[in-house]
Structure 1
Amino acid sequence: MDQAPPRSALDAAIAGRTDAYFNRTRAIVQRFGECQVTYAVFLRRPVVSAPRLMLDWLESVARDRGTQFGIEVMHPEGTWVGAGDPILYISGPFTQLADLETLYLQKLGPPCVAAHNAYQMCLELPAVSFLAMDARHCAGAEMQEMMAYAASVGSAAARKEGARGFTGNATDSTAHWFGAPRGFGTMPHALIGYAGSTLRAAEMFHETYPEENLTVLVDYFGREVTDGLAVCRRFPELAAEGRMAVRLDTHGGRFLEGLDPAESYAVLERHAPGAIRRYRSETELRHLVGTGVSAAAIWRMREALDEAGFPKVRIVASSGFGVGKCRVMAEAKAPIDVVGTGSFIPDSWSETYATADIVAYDGVPRVKIGREFLLRRNGERKRNGHKPAG
């Protein structure tokens, strides 16, 4: 009796992680005869195309299996894709493709949605630099890689339209997506708690990393303005050289030092009155004049720095900077230099589900009822050529 060839480690991993009905489909096709198929791969919502992780994985599988897949990318990386519009077509032997669908869809949907979010955020604040701080919110290393990649894709698309975009991220392992040798960051709240004061934490950091720019987290003791200015006065040379920044990360349970609802409105009346003189949703009002890192908080910090003679000290803002908050900050002309955020991670994970349907069997067009829009139109031109994988 013939024995089945031994599985590679990759094949065994695929079999263990894919849906069981795909494994069974592969076995059935192996028994009843090979068929050449073409899959259309799409999402149900508008996205920015981010297929590289999926394509790299398919290439590795093709090499491992000693086969080739024909891949036609209809929307190259970084381009906008409409809902239901195939991002790419995959062709090859059914026995080699049947069990891959679960895993390659996992690698496509989330990056595409996150890239779209990052793109929109960068366009809302085109003069602001962004730092990707997604790692701590990711469910493991694979998601961390997907989200960093997505931010880089959305950022690159926004830069083509004049935005500064994401200039780096917080971890060494994914810094390559941003063309950087390492991650960026200075201090968490834990270092300030250890030091016992914001000023001492800044001193410790500077003594340890004297050549690094100094970004000081100033909300630990609820004295954002007081502690921020104290650090500026301690390091006047860094402040004058533009090598210092204060990071606002005030949580949503309190106002920035010196602010309350009335004073928050007063700050925006001085700097961006138009932002509060039209209808606003509850969420938009919170972003403008509420607790946490509001537009009023950022303007108040800028006022204090300028009045104290530190106009070159930059402001880094973090805490919930998604698309909506970025839009409100833009309308309030908030003087932000850098936004640190992981809020391009999709809010609704169900929106990230990519779908694949076979649209041709041995060259004959065939798809389930309701998905006819995936069929190739006569004379349809390939938008990015034919790329064999493997």
Structure 2
Amino acid sequence: MSDVTSTDLYEVTMALSYLEERMDAPATFSLFVRRLPPGRGFLVAAGLESALDQLAGYRITPTDVRRFAVALGREQAELEPLRGLAFTGEVRAVPEGRVVHAGEPLLEVTAPLPEAQLVETHLLNLVSHQTAVASKAARCVLAAAGHPVVDFSLRRTHGPQAGFQAARLGGLVGFAGTSNVAAATRLGMTASGTMAHSYVEAFPDEEAAFRAFARTHPGPVTFLVDTYDTERGVATAARVLRDLRRGPGCGIRLDSGDLEALAGRAREILDAAGLPEVRVIVSGGLDEYDIDALVRAGAPVDVYAVGTKVGTSADAPYLDSAYKLVEYDGRPVMKLSAAKATAPGRKQVWRSPGGPDVLALVDEPGPEGAEPLLRTVMRGGRRIGPPDDLATAHARFTADVTALPATARRTHGPEPLAPEISPGLEALTAAVREHLEAKWTAARGS
């Protein structure tokens, strides 16, 4: 099925009406997060690359028109105005990997109104999901305090595409590897994996399983040691590794139980066997809160493998994101709904070292020494530069997250930041609000 039809029905009905009313002047929509989820002190911008891919390939085919007609219960001829419509607009966006805050646009789309409307659902889906997962993964990296973190999320994510995105986003914020073979090979990430409990159970005992696995894989191996009794499993793994003279690069994985206590005991057993270089890897439903507790306790863990809770951003699985019209045909517009009011006009976010971000109108100058976060990345429906790479996005993330105050980075009870509003944006917001309220007053009096 075409990606074009993977949309909300009202996007189609509104776009068709715009076309029939000849409302095809330039419109600007702003995509932003209204407020951060509980437990978040910042967000990591993500999803832009796949969003740009979607926009660059957007075109409504005759098959799409036929499917729209079926969904609406109308004759296909009535929806012919949509045929051939493609995205021809401009996109200004925050590059992937940058830290962003509530209320700041992650991207702004300027295009003929029907085009800008039709792409709403896809943009919200791609940017919101990936920003949520990237932000969760970033918190794991911070909690690990320099210890490697790897992605084991594929089997529990909401579909293979979401699993690929989770692996990529882990790489973006500094994960050391992923179990996802497709992501590792396509993105140049390190493939990481061990064995399942079923593998151990298939053999007469753990030692037979470990020796067979080592015969098949002559390089460094990692043994899963908690299928039966964890301490005995560690001792068996140590014996096999010592007998085979396989230490450097090898590891044992703990996947259940009291990981703090078991990691300590595993380290003792491995060291006593003369294997101080064998790593202790922990997994089993971990996220930043578990990692933080283990790090603070001084548990001798070398690598943290995260899966379900991170790949689904389990504690904050969605963002309160919005895609709102802020300007049409040169006229600034805004929404005044209670708790959901929007600010009018095209915008820019300015960031200064050590100072708060400033949310301003696009043509307002920024503070001295500040840099603009939103860049033009698409014009005329085409990218204006090559796709971003993970290394570049990771460098942005590292710089931005390092500059955050410690209160925003902490695992428990982080304090989110908010941008200051520029004088120009404040004045425009007040003027548009006053104009709208005057129209209502006049309408009530007539």
Give the structure-1-normalised TM-score.
Answer: 0.77
Instruction: Give the structure 1 partner of residue 69 of structure 2.
Output: none
Instruction: Give the structure 2 partner of residue 280 of structure 1.
Output: none
Amino acid paired to 2:31: V
The structure 1 residue matched to 2:343, chosen from 373, 380, 389, is 373
1:92 matched to 2:111? The reply is yes
**Distance verdict in 2 for CA 1:350–1:124, change over 3 Å:** closer
Instruction: Give the structure 1 partner of residue 45 of structure 2.
Output: 49
* 1:345-384 deviation digits (Å, cap 9, x = unpaired): 3114553353200111012110211433364334346534
1 CA distance for matches of 2:168 and 2:320? 18
2 CA distance for matches of 1:229 and 1:350? 40
Instruction: Give the structure 1 partner of residue 239 of structure 2.
Output: 233
1 CA distance for matches of 2:242 and 2:204? 22
Maintained 8 Å contact 1:169/1:184? yes
Q: CA offset at residue 71 of structure 1?
A: 0.9
SS of the aligned residue for 2:251 comes to strand
The structure 1 residue matched to 2:7, chosen from 18, 23, 30, is 18
Q: CA offset at residue 153 of structure 1?
A: 2.0
* 1:270-316 deviation digits (Å, cap 9, x = unpaired): xxxxxxxxxxxxxxxxxxxxxx2432221121122212322111101
Maintained 8 Å contact 1:132/1:340? yes
**Distance verdict in 2 for CA 1:18–1:302, change over 3 Å:** same
**Distance verdict in 2 for CA 1:362–1:374, change over 3 Å:** closer
**Distance verdict in 2 for CA 1:380–1:56, change over 3 Å:** farther
Amino acid paired to 2:334: V
SS of the aligned residue for 2:274 comes to coil
Question: What stretches of structure 2 of length at least 5 have no aligned partner?
Answer: 37-41, 61-83, 348-359, 366-371, 383-446
Q: CA offset at residue 48 of structure 1?
A: 0.5
Amino acid paired to 2:203: A
Maintained 8 Å contact 1:218/1:227? yes
SS of the aligned residue for 1:61 comes to coil
1:224 matched to 2:244? The reply is no
SS of the aligned residue for 1:116 comes to helix
1:129 matched to 2:129? The reply is no
Maintained 8 Å contact 2:149/2:177? yes
Q: CA offset at residue 328 of structure 1?
A: 0.9
Alignment map for 1:1-390 (pairs within 5 Å): 10=2, 13-15=3-5, 17-33=6-22, 34-43=24-33, 44-45=35-36, 46-50=42-46, 51-61=48-58, 65-73=85-93, 75-155=94-174, 166-176=175-185, 179-180=188-189, 183-210=191-218, 212-221=219-228, 223-236=229-242, 241-250=247-256, 292-342=257-307, 343-344=309-310, 345-348=312-315, 351-369=318-336, 370-373=340-343, 375=345, 376=347, 377-378=360-361, 379-380=363-364, 382-387=372-377, 388=379, 389-390=381-382
SS of the aligned residue for 1:127 comes to coil
Instruction: Give the structure 2 partner of residue 163 of structure 1.
Output: none
Instruction: Give the structure 2 partner of residue 257 of structure 1.
Output: none
Maintained 8 Å contact 1:175/1:183? yes
**Distance verdict in 2 for CA 1:177–1:153, change over 3 Å:** farther
Question: What stretches of structure 1 of length at least 5 have no aligned partner?
Answer: 1-8, 156-165, 251-291
**Distance verdict in 2 for CA 1:299–1:35, change over 3 Å:** same
* 1:173-217 deviation digits (Å, cap 9, x = unpaired): 11157523x73212111101111322212112122222x311000
Amino acid paired to 2:51: M
Amino acid paired to 1:59: A
The runs of at least 4 consecutive aligned structure 1 residues that moved more than 6 Å come to none
Maintained 8 Å contact 1:111/1:149? no
Q: CA offset at residue 62 of structure 1?
A: 6.5
1 CA distance for matches of 2:320 and 2:168? 18
Q: Percent identity?
A: 24
2 CA distance for matches of 1:122 and 1:339? 10
**Distance verdict in 2 for CA 1:130–1:323, change over 3 Å:** same
1 CA distance for matches of 2:332 and 2:9? 26
1 CA distance for matches of 2:245 and 2:153? 28
2 CA distance for matches of 1:184 and 1:203? 20
In terms of mean alpha carbon deviation, does 325-334 or 233-242 score higher?
233-242
Maintained 8 Å contact 1:117/1:154? no
2 CA distance for matches of 1:197 and 1:237? 17
2 CA distance for matches of 1:336 and 1:364? 58
1 CA distance for matches of 2:274 and 2:192? 27
SS of the aligned residue for 1:351 comes to coil
Maintained 8 Å contact 2:141/2:149? yes
Equivalenced residue count is 324
Instruction: Give the structure 2 partner of residue 276 of structure 1.
Output: none
Q: CA offset at residue 98 of structure 1?
A: 1.6
**Distance verdict in 2 for CA 1:55–1:154, change over 3 Å:** same
Tell me the C-alpha RMSD between the 2 structures: 2.3
